[in-house]
Amino acid sequence: MNDISSVMLVACKTLGRLRLVVVGRGADEARELFAKALHGGNVEVVVRGVLPAEEIAREFESADALLFVRGAVTTRRGSAMAGIASGVPIVGYRDGSTGGFLEEAGVEWSPLHDREGLTRGIMRVLSDPERWMELHDRNLEMQKNYLSWGRIAERFRAELAG
């Protein structure tokens, strides 16, 4: 939460009013903490909590960016994969284990625990329409090539046949 608050407070000084939508487990408990941490900043906080998959997809599809701060973005992080599948640009941390098809993803990377890098990343994604579109397109391509039901079925067929 400290990373999110720090990034949002710095970014809103340059970008103007920002909206932070918080979803998932622990979101309701974080409501008050975010209200305190972001008090005085130009950040609207909307807490959605745990939502059905369809509503999560709608939230991601309508988002300008996914700020991913719970460790490094990896294929084992469901919210990161959902962001990629939704086409939303991701701003997140990278560690030494990041690799594979994530190298092709639409992620604005920052070294692990580098808040200033994360802040620069979110500001770049939200202020540079060309960069936003590049990351968006890369994530849609990732979804088509790796995460679509058709591609998953092809991989199952190949595994079962081989």
First to last CA, the chain: 46
pLDDT in tens, 31-58: 899 999 999 899 999 999 999 988 988 9
pTM of the predicted structure, to 2 decimals: 0.89
Query: What contacts 79, CB < 8 A, 6 or more positions away?
Result: 24, 66, 68
CATH code for the part of the protein at 2-161: 3.40.50.2000
pLDDT in tens, 52-68: 988 988 999 999 999 99
